[in-house]
Amino acid sequence: MDPTFFLIQVLNGLQYGLLLFLIASGLTLIFGIMGVINLAHGAFYMVGAWLVWWFAGQFDSFLLGMLAALVLAAALGWVIERTLITVLYEREHLDQVVLTYGLILVLNELQRILFGTDVQGVPVPEQVQGSLRLTENLTYPVYRLMLAGICLLVAVAMYLVIQRTRLGMWIRASAANREVAATLGINVRSLNALVFAAGTALAAFAGMIAAPISSVYPGMGDSIIVISFVVVVIGGIGSVKGAFLGALAIGLADTFGRVLLPEFSSFLVYALMAAVLLWRPTGLFARA
């Protein structure tokens, strides 16, 4: 493989992995803190992509559209947590799986009713169109580089919030032991709603920034949720660090799989998961 081609694939893989991280981190946090397995997390990715497509069209500006879509997605997450997810805290995983599965069907169908079933495209914002010359014979789209950069920024911001702020301390305490955290005066109810809304917004944000490079289509969350689960399983449930490394590993494995073994590319990701599970049945960074 020639080195230029190799480098492009590495960039593609990293960028895809970083995007996956935005989704998987919300998933893993929601499980870690609330003990809820949320199948509908991928549907929020879909919601984000469709909202930005619609709002960007309305405002004629990708950035404004994204702002509006973000606010709406976070509000949606908040409402869903307050009305449905809150019931699930006392329920078994089975009920969580089934209810959030129902939620997927509702969200997917609402999308079809509101925006139709056609595949749509979102243009790359004008300011970041074009390609950047990295080496003599390697150019790479500016938007993709920016996307990777934004995801990295989000990851760093998340790390800082969780490790360095009071809110982050509450989140960590709540993840370690919900009852004790509540006893110590943390308002777990609001914290849950906040984390769920943030997780929803993160997944939706991933859908928004992915919209210009993938297309926007019905049911686009259904495959991303499974791959996000693979990321979480590899990284260890509840671990943001694990989600980060797992996401990069899956992003690279999937990208190189598509290039090298196109017939088996999707297979490769699951083989990687099986290998990790054989070695560590609870993922790389599972909490005890």
Partner 1 sequence: MKTLPLQPSPRSLVAGAGGWRGPGRVGMALLALAVLLALYPAYGATLFPAQHDFIMEKLVTMMILAIFAMSLDLLVGVGGMVSLGHAAFFGLGGYALALTAPEYEAASVWLTLPAALGISAAAALVIGALSIRTSGIYFIMITLAFGQMFFYVFNDSSFAGGSDGTYIYFRPTAELFGVQVVDLESPLTFFYVVFGAMLGTYALLRVLLASPFGRVLRGIGINPQRVRGVGYNPDAYRLVAFVIGAMLAGLAGFLSASQYGFVNPSMLSWHHSGTVLVMVILGGLGTLHGAILGAFALELLHVIIEPLTEHWLLVLGGLIILMVLVLPRGLAGLLEGLNRLGRRRETGGGADDDD
Task: Report yes or no: 49 and 216 within 8 Å, Cβ to Cβ.
Answer: yes
| Closer residue to partner 1 (CB): 6 or 267 | 267
Closest by CA position to 204, among listed 192, 193, 216: 216
Minimum distance, C-beta of residue 259 to partner 1, in the bound complex (Å): 14
Q: Which two tokens stand for residue 124?
A: 């790359």
Contact between 175 and partner 1 by CB under 8 A: the answer reads no
Alpha carbon distance 37, 20 (integer Å): 17
CB-based contacts of 195: which residues, under 8 Å, 6+ apart?
A: 29, 30, 33, 34, 171
DSSP class of residue 135? E
Of the CA atoms within 13 Å of residue 189, those in its CB half-sphere come to 3
CB-based contacts of 111: which residues, under 8 Å, 6+ apart?
A: 46, 47, 50, 218
The interface region with partner 1, picked from 56-64, 67-75, 185-193, 262-270 by CB under 8 A, is: 262-270
Minimum distance, C-beta of residue 27 to partner 1, in the bound complex (Å): 10
Contact between 95 and partner 1 by CB under 8 A: the answer reads yes
Site string for partner 1, 99-138 (x = CB under 8 A): x-xxxxxxxxxx-xx-------------------------
Q: Which of residues 17-56 bind partner 1 (CB under 8 A)?
A: 31, 37, 39
Minimum distance, C-beta of residue 35 to partner 1, in the bound complex (Å): 8
185: alpha, beta or left, given left = phi > 0 and alpha = psi -120 to 50? left
Contact between 278 and partner 1 by CB under 8 A: the answer reads yes
The interface region with partner 1, picked from 93-101, 137-145, 162-170, 172-180 by CB under 8 A, is: 93-101
Exactly one of 222, 241, 259, 284 binds partner 1 (CB under 8 A); that residue is 222
Binding positions for partner 1, rule: CB under 8 A = 31, 37, 39, 84, 87, 91, 93-95, 97-99, 101-110, 112-113, 222-223, 226, 229-230, 232-233, 237, 263-267, 270, 273-274, 277-278, 281-282
